[in-house]
Amino acid sequence: MAITTPRAYAPDAVRRVLQRKKRDVRGRTFHVGLVATLLTSVAILVILMVDVVLDSLTVWETRSLGSFLTSQLSADPAVAGIAQALYGSIVLMIFTIAIAFPLGISAAIYLEEYARDTRFTRIINANIRNLAGVPSIVYGILGLALFVKALESITGPQVHGRSVISGGFTLGLLVLPIVIITTAEALRAVPGGIREAAYGVGATQWQMIRQHVFPVAAPGILTGTILSIGRAFGEAAPLLMVGGITTFFQAGDASIVEQLQGRFSALPVLVFSWVRFPQDEFRALTAALIIVMLVVLLLINATGIYLRNRYEKDL
Amino acid sequence: MTTEPTETIGLLAGSRPRQRRERVIRWFFLSAAATSILISAAIVLSLAGEAWTFISNVELASLTDIGWFPRRGAYDIGTIVVGTLLVAGIAMLVAAPLGLGAAIYLSEYADRRLRKVLKPALEILAGIPSVVLGYFALTFITPELLRRIFGSEVAGFNMLAAGVGVGILTIPLVASITEDSLRAVPNSLREASYGLGASRMRTSLRVVFPAAVSGVVASLIVAFSRAIGETMVVAIAAGAQGGSLFSVNALQPGQTMTAAMASLAIGSDRVRGADFAFQSLFFVGLLLFTMTLTLNVISERFVRRVRQRY
Amino acid sequence: MSQEREGVREMPTTETTRAAQDGGSRSGFGEQTHDRPLASRRMEVPDDKARIDDLNEHPVVIDVRDLNVFYGDFHAVKGVALQIRQNEITALIGPSGCGKSTVLRCFNRMNDLIDIARVEGEVLYHGVNLYDTAVDPIEVRRHVGMVFQKPNPFPKSIYDNISFGPRIAGYKGNMDDLVEQSLLRAALWDEVKDKLKESAYALSGGQQQRLCIARAIATNPDVVLMDEPCSALDPIATLRIEELMQELKADYTIIIVTHNMQQAARVSDRTAFFNVQVNEKGQRTGHLVEFGETGRIFTNPIEKATEDYITGRFG
C-alpha cells in the first residue's frame, strides 16, 4: 500500500491543493516564445512589404504606372521601363502552361487511374518526387544543354539558342513534377464510388475518367496548376542559364517568330539585372518592379483560389 | 426471347475499334508518365558529359587552388562548397527555430480562428520569389540590420545577409512539413498526457514532439536541401561575381555552388567553351545535383518511418 | 429489512441473466458460467450491502449539482445530479449519444480541451467546485485519473509510461519502487517485469490497457475515471480488467462508462442510467433518467425508460 497515502479531505485542504496554480513560469515563457516565433515570421513579411513600397515611392511620384509598364529597357533610369520583361514573362507563362499542363495532367491520369502497383510504377513515382526536389538551377543546366545547345536550330539560331522558346521549355520542365503531384492528389481525392458507378453503367475506362472523374477533380487540378504557374513566374535562376538577358536589348518590330527566337527577358531576371546597378534611381526602379511582380503573383494565386471556390460550389 | 449462343457472344463481344482506342489512350498516358524518366535521364546525361570533360582535362592541382576563379583557371571546389554550406547553415539557424516554433504553436496551441489567420501568412511568405528576398537581403538586411549589429565590419555584399534571406525563404517549408507531422500524431496520446495532469508545454515537448520526430527531421533535411540549391538570393546579396577566395567570414562576400554556376552562365558569351571555365559549370552542377538528391532520398526514409508508426 | 436486502442481492445474478436472455444477450458468450464466480464472491461478503449505506465508510466524493454541458449553442447534456461515493464503482450507462462520456469528462476537466465546450453547474469534489475559476485543471487531473476507451500508451518504454505522471508531478522518491507498485496493483507486473525497458507497443491490447491503468494509478489519484475501458478488448482481457476493478476499488473511487449493461451489473455498486432526447431540430440532448444502487436499478427500476433499456427494448 506504499503508493496510497492517507489524504485529508476537508474542503479547505482540497481547495488549497486544487487552487495551487503555481506560476507556471516555464510554461508561460514557452507559450510566449512560440507566439514570438510566429509573429517574427509575420513581422518579416510586413517589413519586407513596407520596405519595398517605401523604396519604390520615388518612381510612382515621378512616373505613371502605364509608362513604367510600357517603356523599354534603358540605361537612363528616368525612362527605363519593364516592357520587354513583362512581355517575356507573359510569353514564358504561356509556354509553361502549354508544356506542363497537358504532359503533367496526362502523366498524373496514368499514375492514378491506369497504373497498377508494379515496380515500374513505383519507380516513376519516386522519380517524380525526386524531380520535384531538384534545384531550379539544375533545370537551367538541362535547358542549357538541351534547348540552347542541342536544339539551337529550333530555339533560335540567331542568338545561339538563348531565346524565350528555350526559357519556356525549361520552365515547363521545372514545373512539370509539381503539376503531376498536385493533379494526382486531386484525382485521388475523388471518391471511389464515382468510378464504380460509371463502370456499373458500362462506361469504358476513358469514358469514366473523362466524364466522371475529371469533372469532379477539375477544381483541385486547376488550383494546383495555377499555383504552379505562380512558382514558374518567380523563377530567375533557370532563365539566367538559358540566356535570359541581363543587359539591354531592343525589342524591335520583328515578326512573332523572330521575337520568339530572339533575346528575351523576364520580370525576375530584370530584378536581378537592375539590382546590380549602383545608382539610387535603379534601386527605386527595382522596388517598383518588385511591386508589379508581387501584384501579378497575388492575382495569379487569387484567381486560383477563386476558381477553386467557384467550381466547388457548383458541385 | 431466345437467341442463339453465337448471337449472344456477338452481343457481348464488344467493339474492336473501341477496345483498340482504349488501348491507344492508355499508351498515350503511359508515355506521358514515362517522360518523367526521360527528363531525369536527360538531367544526368547533360551534367555528366561536360562534367567528365572538365574533370578529365583539368589539372587536379587547380582543384585545390587559392580560390574559385574559373576564368583564370582556379577551380578550388572547396571554396564554393564551403560557401554553400556556410550560407545553408546560416539559413537553417534562421529557419529551424522560426519554422519549428510556428509549427508547434499552430498545431498544439492555436485555436481554429487563430489558425485561419496565421496560416495564410506563412503561405504568402512561401510564395515570395527568391529574387525579392535577394533584394531585401541586399538593401535592408545588410544596411539596416547587420550594420547596426556588427558595425562597419560588414561588407556591402556578405554571406550572412544571403544566409538570412535564404532562411526566410525556407521558414514556410520547415513549418508546413513539421506541422503535418505533429498533426499526424493521434489525439489519443495528447489525451493520455493531459489526463495525467501534464501541462500543454509538457505534452507538446515530451509526448507529441518525440512522437513526430521523424517528420521533423525530414522537414529539416528537405529545408537544408532547398537552401543548398537556392541561387538568386546569394547571387544578389553575397556578391563575388567573378570568383572568390576561400573564406569562412560570413561578413564578407563569398561564392556558393549555385551562384558560381549562375555567374558562369551569364558571362559565358565571352567564354566560348575555349578553356574549361564553361565545363566547370557542369561539374559543379553534377556535384549539386548529387548532394540534393542524396538529401532528398534520406528525408524520404524519415517520412516513411512516420507512416509506418501510425 | 436485511431480508429484503438479501433478496435483492441474490437476484441480480439470475435476474440480469434472464433479462439479458430476453432482450438479446450483449456479451455473447457463456453468460451463465461467467456470472457465477462473481455472484458467489458477492455472497461471500454478506455485509457488503450494509457498507453501501454507511456514509462514514463511503462518503460522497463527487457531488454533481445541475450539470449542463453545451457545445457552442447545442445543449448536449441537461441537468445532471448525482453523488459518487468513495471506494465504490459507479457505472454510467445508456444508449449511444446520451452524454455519459461527456459527463465523465466533466469530472477531470477534460472537456476544457474542446474549444466550444461549456460547462454550467457544479461538480463538487470533496466540497470544492472543480469548475471554480481559481481551480487549476492540471492539478485536478493529478487527483482524478483517467483510462480511455482505446488503450493509448505513449510510444515509450513501459517504465517511462508509468513514470511520466509522477515525474511531472514532482515525485522525488524511488521511481523504480513506484513503477513496480503500480504494475503490481494493475496485475501486470509478472508479465512485464523483465521487459520494463521495452516499448509499450509490444504488449497485447489487454496488457496495454492494464498498463494504462497502472499509469493512471501511478500518480496516486483519488478517483479513477474509465471511459469504456473494455470495449476494444477481447472477452478474456475484459474479464481480467473487471476483476482488477474490484480489487482497485478498495483504494480508489472508480467511475466507469460502459455500453455493456451486463458489465455494469457485474461490476458496479451504483448505476446511473442516461437517455437521449431528440428535439424538433433533430439535436440529441442527454439527461439522467435514474440513479441508484445497481441491484435495485437492474431488478426494480422506477422509470419505464430504464426498464426498457435494461430489458433490451432499445439501445
**Of the candidates C127, C136, C178, which has its C-beta nearest A19's C-beta?**
C136
Q: In this predicted complex, what is the ipTM?
A: 0.88
Per CB-CB distance under 8 Å, the chain B contacts of C152 are 186, 188-189, 191-192
A193 and A44, same structural domain? no
Kindly identify which residue of chain B lies nearest to residue C216, measuring between CA atoms.
B196
The parent domain of residue C153 ranges over: 3-45+88-108+134-310
- CATH number, residue A114: 1.10.3720.10
CA distance A38 to chain C (A): 21
Q: Which residue of B has its CA nearest to A108?
A: B33
State the CATH number of the domain containing residue C197.
3.40.50.300
Nearest residue on chain C to A21, alpha-carbon basis:
C136
Tally of domains within chain A: 2
Residue of A5, A9, A12, A18 best to disrupt the C interface, most CBs of C under 10 A? A18
Query: Is the pLDDT assigned to residue A301 strictly greater than 50?
Result: yes
State the amino acid at position A113 in one-letter form: E
Domain extent, residue A56, equals 27-60
Taking only the tens place, the pLDDT of each residue in C191-248 is 999 999 999 999 999 999 999 999 999 999 999 999 999 998 999 999 999 999 999 9
Answer whether A2 sits within 8 Å of C181, measured CB to CB: yes
Q: What is the pTM of this model?
A: 0.84
Considering just the CA atoms, what is the radius of gyration of chain A in Å?
27
| Contact flag C155-B112 (C-beta cutoff 8 Å) | no
At residue B251, the pLDDT reads 83
- Tell me the mean pLDDT in the region A224-247: 85
Question: Looking at residue B9, what is its pLDDT?
Answer: 66
Question: Do residues A177 and A236 share a domain?
Answer: yes
Res C190 pLDDT > 90: yes
Q: Is C28 among the domain residues?
A: yes
Chain C contact set for A11 (CB, 8 A): 126-128
Our count of domains for chain C comes to 1
Q: Is residue C304 part of a domain?
A: yes
Indicate whether A88 belongs to any domain.
yes
Per-residue pLDDT, C240: 92
Supply the pLDDT for residue C13. 36
All residues at 6 or more sequence positions from A138 whose CB lies less than 8 Å from its CB, including other chains:
B43, B47, B229, B285, B288, B289, B292
Q: Among the three residues A8, A37, A60, which one is the final residue of a domain in this structure?
A: A60
Whether residue A215 is contained in a domain is answered as: yes
Q: Specify the residue for cell string 560588414.
A: B154
Task: Say if A268 falls within a structural domain.
Answer: yes
Asked if the Cβ–Cβ distance from B201 to A31 is below 8 Å, we say yes
Average pLDDT of chain C to the nearest whole number: 82
- The answer to whether position C126 is within a domain reads no
Domain boundary (A8, A39, A60) is at: A60
| Cβ contact, residue pair C220, A2, below 8 Å | no
What is the three-class DSSP state of C199? strand
* pLDDT tens sequence for chain B (310 residues): 555 666 666 667 777 888 888 888 888 899 999 999 999 999 998 888 888 888 787 777 666 667 777 776 677 788 889 999 999 999 999 999 999 999 999 999 988 888 888 888 888 899 999 999 999 999 999 888 887 888 877 888 889 999 999 999 999 999 999 999 999 999 999 999 999 999 999 999 999 999 999 999 999 999 999 999 999 999 999 876 666 677 778 888 888 999 988 888 876 444 444 467 778 888 899 999 999 999 999 998 887 776 555 4
Residue C76 falls inside a structural domain: no
Interior angle at CA C309, CA C308 and CA C314, nearest 5? 90
Determine whether the interchain pair A17/C178 forms a contact, defined as Cβ–Cβ distance below 8 Å: no
Q: Determine, yes or no, domain membership for A245.
A: yes
Q: Are C294 and C264 in contact (CB under 8 A)?
A: yes
% of residues, chain A, pLDDT over 90: 37
A253 Cα to chain B: minimum distance (Å): 25
Q: How close is the nearest chain C Cα to the Cα of B305, in Å?
A: 14
CB pair distance less than 8 Å for B196 and C165: yes
Interface test with A, best of C60, C107, C136 (most A CBs within 10 A): C136
Rounded CA gap, B275 and B262, in Å? Answer: 17
Polymer length of chain A? 315
* One domain, residues A156 and A40: no
Partner-chain contact A3 C130, CB within 8 Å: no
Q: Per-residue pLDDT tens for A128-147?
A: 999 999 999 999 999 988 88
C139–chain B nearest CA distance, Å? 6
Sign of CA dihedral B48, B50, B55, B57: positive
Domain identity same for A85 and A230: yes
The set of cell numbers assigned to C148 is 480511455
Q: Which residues of B touch A24 (CB under 8 A)?
A: 199, 201
Task: Please state, in angstroms and rounded to a whole number, the distance separating the CA atoms of residues B275 and B268.
Answer: 11
pLDDT of residue B8: 61
Per-position DSSP letters for C260-277, written without gaps between them: -HHHHHHH-SEEEEEEEE
Q: How confident is the model over A81-107, as a mean pLDDT?
A: 90
Helices (H) and strands (E) in chain C, counts: 13, 10
Distance CA C238, CA A281 (A): 80
CA distances from A48 to A5, B122, B138 (A): 60, 14, 12
A115-154 residues touching C, CB cutoff 8 A: none
Is any Cβ of chain A less than 8 angstroms from the Cβ of B130?
A: yes
Q: Which of B177, B180, B206 is nearest to B194 (CA)?
A: B206
A35-49 pLDDT, tens digit each: 999 999 999 999 999
pLDDT at A255: 65
Round to whole Å and give the CA distance between A104 and A99: 8
Whether A150 and A298 map to the same domain: the answer is: yes
CB contacts of B35 in chain A (<8 Å) are 103, 107
Q: Are residues A31 and A153 in the same domain?
A: no
Same domain, yes or no: A133 and A180: yes
- Bridge partners (DSSP) of residue C85 are C60
Q: In terms of domains, do A46 and A89 share one?
A: no
Q: Which residues of A touch C182 (CB under 8 A)?
A: 3
Question: Which residues of chain C make contact with A17, given a CB cutoff of 8 A?
Answer: 139, 143
Q: What is the pLDDT of residue C189?
A: 93
Chain B residues within 8 A of C140 when measuring between CB atoms: 197
Nearest beta carbon to residue C128 from set A5, A18, A21: A18
Residue closest to C244 by CA, chosen among C260, C215, C272, C267: C267
Measured between CB atoms, which of B28, B135, B285 is closest to A106? Answer: B28
pLDDT on residue A8: 53
A183 and A55 in one domain? Answer: no
Instruction: Flag whether pLDDT at C38 surpasses 60.
Output: no
Q: Would A69 be classed as within a structural domain?
A: yes
Q: What is the model's pLDDT at position A262?
A: 73
What's at B4, amino acid-wise? E
Residue A242 has pLDDT above 60, yes or no: yes
Q: Is residue C68 part of a domain?
A: no
Model pLDDT, residue C7: 33
Residue C31 inside a domain? The answer is yes
CA C207 to chain centre: 18
Q: Which residues in chain A have Cβ-Cβ distances shorter than 8 Å to C251?
A: 1, 4
pLDDT at C90 over 80: yes
Query: C251, A1: Cβ pair inside 8 Å?
Result: yes
Q: Which residues of C fall within a CB distance of 8 Å from B211?
A: 154-155
Q: What cell numbers appear for B145 in the block? A: 540590420
pLDDT of residue B106: 93
Q: Does C213 touch chain A (CB under 8 A)?
A: no
Which of A38, A60, A82 terminates a domain? The answer is: A60
Eight-class DSSP state of A73: P
A200-204, A310-314, B149-153, C115-119: which is most confident? C115-119
Mean pLDDT for the stretch of residues C67-81: 92
Distance CA C244, CA C267 (A): 10
Closest Cα in chain A to B233: A272
Task: With CA atoms as reference, report the closest residue to B89 among B224, B249, B221, B250.
Answer: B224
C82 Cα to chain A: minimum distance (Å) = 19
pLDDT at B271: 45
A47 and A162 both lie in a single domain: no
Cα dihedral C99, C101, C107, C108 in deg (nearest 10): -140
For residue A39, the chain B residues in CB contact (below 8 A) are none
Residues of C in contact with B192 (CB under 8 A): 148, 152-154, 212, 215
> Could you tell me if residue A99 is inside a domain?
yes
Nearest C-alpha neighbor of B47 from the set C233, C237, C257, A134: A134
Query: Looking at the structure, do residues A34 and A167 belong to the same domain, yes or no?
Result: no
Hey, are the CB atoms on A17 and C139 less than 8 Å from each other? yes
Residue C142 lies in a domain: yes
Q: Do C110 and B199 touch (CB under 8 A)?
A: no
Mean pLDDT to the nearest integer, C101-113? 93
Length of chain B: 310
Question: Does residue C148 sit at the B interface (CB-CB below 8 Å)?
Answer: yes
Question: Are the C-beta atoms of residues C178 and A3 closer than 8 Å to each other?
Answer: yes
Asked if B192 and C150 come within 8 Å (Cβ–Cβ), the reply is: no
For chain A, the chains sharing at least 3 beta-carbon pairs closer than 8 angstroms are: B, C
Q: What's the whole-number average pLDDT of chain A?
A: 84
Distance CA C52, CA B24 (A): 81
pLDDT value at residue B94: 96
- Report chain B residues whose CB lies below 8 A from the CB of C169: 197
Nearest Cα residue to B171 out of B119, B214, B223, B120: B223
pLDDT at B242: 60
Query: Are A47 and A170 in the same domain?
Result: no
Instruction: Identify whether C15 is part of a domain.
Output: yes
Strand ranges inside chain C, DSSP E: 60-71, 74-85, 89-93, 117-125, 128-129, 144-147, 223-227, 253-257, 270-278, 284-293
- Pair C168, C132: CB distance under 8 Å: no
